């Protein structure tokens, strides 16, 4: 857990990832596990219907922004074969990032000085869609932050190795279907070691591998610092 300890020491230095107050009254935590009948019993392959469910969950809490998901064992990935059929092999359902559900077009900011590590359009249904991975350094230690479900607009202007300042907008939350065909939200994930991967990294793991992936991808709330998480 070296990266988690490093991030904890530097928490005061992080800027926001989104230009919203994640500790404000408009924010609520969303449950996307099989404990929530709204998602458990719905056909989530229909993205507009899925978006209506998200909006209904927010409205029920008097909120406009939803947060949650780190190490949450979610039912929602059954909507896509991308995460495995769950028949012969164990399906992936353990979420490794934090999702912030909010309107498409919301800017995404670099929380620290960064270099653009890699870019990709992970276009499978239910995947990240437009993706940016940034590389950061603290105390001589390199680590990475991943941003999924973005808009193509700003993404098309980014270049690998481009330098970003802390607080600089570099992307925005994308609409479906270009965001992997999800209701609009940002997937934010921290990664200790890319393992040679470029433009992509697992954001959902098999529950039986929880310990392995939790060590590699520490809690994104170390950066977000949202009291709802």
pLDDT profile of the chain (229 residues), mean per 10: 91 97 97 86 86 95 96 76 59 91 98 98 92 97 98 95 98 96 96 97 92 96 96
pLDDT of residue 84: 60
Check residue 114 and give its pLDDT: 98
What pLDDT does residue 45 have? 85
Residue 87: the pLDDT is 52
Helix (H, G, I), strand (E, B) or coil at 87: coil
| 3 state DSSP class of 95 | strand
In whole angstroms, what is the distance from residue 211 CA to residue 150 CA?
A: 28
Return the ∠ at Cα 200 (arms to 194 and 202), rounded to 5°.
75
- Give residue 81's pLDDT: 59
Q: What are the backbone dihedrals phi and psi of residue 49, each rounded to the nearest 5 degrees, phi first?
A: -70, -40
pLDDT at 2: 87
Q: Which helix (H) or strand (E) holds 172?
A: strand 169-172
């Amino acid at each position: 857990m070296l990266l988690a300890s490093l991030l904890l020491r530097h928490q005061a230095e992080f800027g926001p990832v989104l230009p919203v107050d994640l500790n404000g009254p408009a924010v609520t935590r969303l449950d996307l596990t099989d404990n929530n009948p709204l998602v458990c019993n719905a056909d989530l392959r229909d993205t507009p219907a899925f978006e209506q469910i998200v909006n209904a969950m927010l409205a029920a809490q008097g909120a406009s922004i939803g947060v949650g998901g780190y190490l949450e064992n979610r039912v929602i990935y059954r909507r896509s074969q991308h995460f495995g059929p769950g028949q012969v092999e164990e399906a992936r359902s353990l979420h490794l990032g934090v999702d912030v559900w909010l309107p498409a077009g919301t800017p995404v900011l670099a929380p620290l000085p960064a270099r653009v590590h890699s870019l990709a359009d992970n276009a499978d249904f239910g995947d990240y869609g437009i993706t940016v991975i940034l590389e950061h350094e603290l105390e001589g230690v390199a680590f990475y932050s991943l941003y999924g479900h973005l808009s193509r607009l700003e993404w098309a202007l980014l270049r690998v190795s481009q330098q970003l300042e802390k607080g600089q907008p570099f992307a925005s939350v994308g609409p479906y279907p270009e965001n992997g065909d999800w209701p609009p939200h940002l997937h934010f994930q921290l990664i200790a070691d890319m393992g040679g991967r470029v433009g992509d990294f697992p954001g959902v793991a098999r529950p039986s591998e929880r310990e392995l992936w939790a060590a590699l991808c520490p809690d994104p709330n170390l950066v977000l610092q949202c009291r709802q998480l």
